[in-house]
Amino acid sequence: MAPIKFALSCLLFLLLPICFLFGQGGPLAGDYVRMAEDFKTNSQRDSAIIYYEKASGEYQKQGDLEGYVRSCNQIGILLTRQDKYAPAKSYLDKALTTGLSIFDSTHLEVAVTYLALGVVYAAEEQYSQSLGYHHKALSIRLQKLGRYHADVATSYGNIGNVYYNSKDYDRAIDAHLEAKKIRAKLYGKSGAEITPSYTFLGRAYREKSKYKSSLKYFKKALTNKTEQLGVGHKDLARFQKEIDEVILLMENKKKAAFPK
């Protein structure tokens, strides 16, 4: 009997970590999050949302409100990418209410919520509300991360996009120039990360009919993408198209000023 008892004791010892990991009701919140992130990485957003929702429920049961806020943020972001704005805002409002109740008002996870809300409201063309949230996110990031940080550049870029969409091109340019300066400091003037700044600056200057400046930035964007992708890559065509459009506008402006 002794060998049997010993074997049972060993089996129980091996099972204890498994029981601790999965608990009585299935995987723990962290396991759900890992599954959600795997689905998100593979662009399976519906499945990712399902597992983030499972995680948020588990975090609530465990009293882990920080995990709950993170999960709600991710759900809101994914729903926004699916153009499901009302449910996205519902989850983000939950994240904000809970986040402000447990975190300092300058916590970086609160900044994530503000930024995500800014994106939703911009998608709904509610630009004033969007800018309010984006500026709150930027304020937190500047305070916590300092000026030269990738997330700060992202916030400036988001603000620039909202100003551009609301046709406030001067402020769009100011914001994208800030993003460009930060990215140039972090990644260099030919880094992949700076290309969006060049592109958006090109578009904003084009809308202001400042075609030389527009052309300069579009050419920088094309040069960067060519270095990254190689000459002849199919994705370069859209950058060349932007350049061709500006050149055509410049020619039309010249013809209008000096008609034959």
Let me know: does 67 contact 29? Beta carbons within 8 Å. Answer: yes
Closest CA to 200 of 240, 243, 160: 160
Q: How far apart are CA 25 and CA 70, in angstroms?
A: 22
Closest CA to 144 of 109, 178, 113, 116: 109
Summarised one tens digit per residue, pLDDT across range 126-171 is 999 999 999 999 999 999 999 999 999 999 999 999 999 999 999 9
Let me know: does 67 contact 36? Beta carbons within 8 Å. Answer: no
Mean pLDDT of 196-220: 97
Taking the CA atoms of the chain, what radius of gyration do you get in angstroms?
Answer: 25
The beta-carbon contacts of 182-186 under 8 Å, at least 24 apart in sequence, are 182/147, 182/148, 182/149, 182/150, 182/152, 182/153, 182/156, 183/150, 183/153, 185/148, 186/148, 186/149, 186/150, 186/153
**Half-sphere exposure of residue 92: CA atoms within 13 angstroms, side-chain side:** 24
Q: Which of 6-10, 55-59, 85-89, 119-123 has the lowest mean pLDDT?
A: 6-10
User: For residue 1, what are its two tokens?
Assistant: 């009997």
Summarised one tens digit per residue, pLDDT across range 60-108 is 999 999 999 999 999 999 999 999 999 999 999 999 999 999 999 999 9
Question: Model confidence at 8, in pLDDT bands (50, 70, 90)?
Answer: very low
Question: Model confidence at 27, in pLDDT bands (50, 70, 90)?
Answer: low
Q: How far apart are CA 223 and CA 220, in angstroms?
A: 5
Q: Burial level of 241, CB count in 10 A (0-12/13-18/19+)?
A: exposed
pLDDT of residue 138: 98
Summarised one tens digit per residue, pLDDT across range 212-256 is 999 999 999 999 999 988 998 999 999 999 999 999 999 888 877
Contacts of 186 (CB under 8 A, 6+ apart): 148, 149, 150, 153, 193
Of 66 and 260, the structure prediction assigns the larger pLDDT to 66
Contacts of 129 (CB under 8 A, 6+ apart): 121
Let me know: does 99 contact 69? Beta carbons within 8 Å. Answer: yes
pLDDT of residue 24: 36
